[in-house]
Amino acid sequence: MSETGTKLTAEEIKQSARETGIELTGEWLDDLVDGSAFVIWARRHLREMSEAASQAEMSTCRPT
């Protein structure tokens, strides 16, 4: 799945939904393309938070 754009493509969204048993078409699919901007942002932001937390934790340790 695309991690570089600001939104997912309609095909990516369709495939993800199909994997959970949902068939997306028409307006529903079009709406989710817009909504996927939040998904992309949240995913990136949580990953960055996680990496920052890991680095902070590592900085509290030293090799023995």
Partner 1 sequence: MPSDLTSEVPSLAEAARQIRSKRLSPVELTRSCLDRIAALDGALHCFIRLDEKGAMASARAAEQEIARGGYRGPLHGIPTGFKDLFNRRGMVTTAHSRSRIDAVAFADADVVTRLDAAGAIDLGKLAMHELALGGPSFDLPWPPVRNPWDVSRFTHGSSSGTAAAIAAGFILAGPGTDTAGSIRGPAAYCGIAGLKPTFGLVSVAGTVPLSPTLDHAGPMGWTVEDCAILLSALIDQGGSEPSAHLSSLQDGVKGLRIGVVRHFYETDHPVSAETREAIEAALDVYRALGAYVEEIRLAPLADYAAAAGVIMVCEAYQAHLGTLRENPQLFGRIFRNRISLGALYHSDDLSRAYAARARLKAAFADQTAGFDAIVTAVVPSTAPLIDEVPMWPTVEKPSLLSPFNITEGPALAVCCGFSKNGMPLSMQVAGRRFDDALILRIGHAYERAVGWRGKRPPARSTAKALAGNEDAIGVTGDR
DSSP letter at 3?
-
For the CB of residue 63, give the shortest distance to partner 1 in the complex, in Å: 25
SS3 of 5-51: CCCCCHHHHHHHHHHCCCCCCHHHHHHHHHHHHHHHHHHHHHHHHHH
Q: Which CB sits closer to partner 1, 56 or 61?
A: 56
Q: Find the binder of partner 1 among 5, 9, 11, 50 (CB under 8 A).
A: 50
Residues near partner 1 (CB under 8 A) are 8, 13, 16-17, 19-22, 24, 27-28, 31-32, 34-39, 41-43, 45-47, 49-50, 53
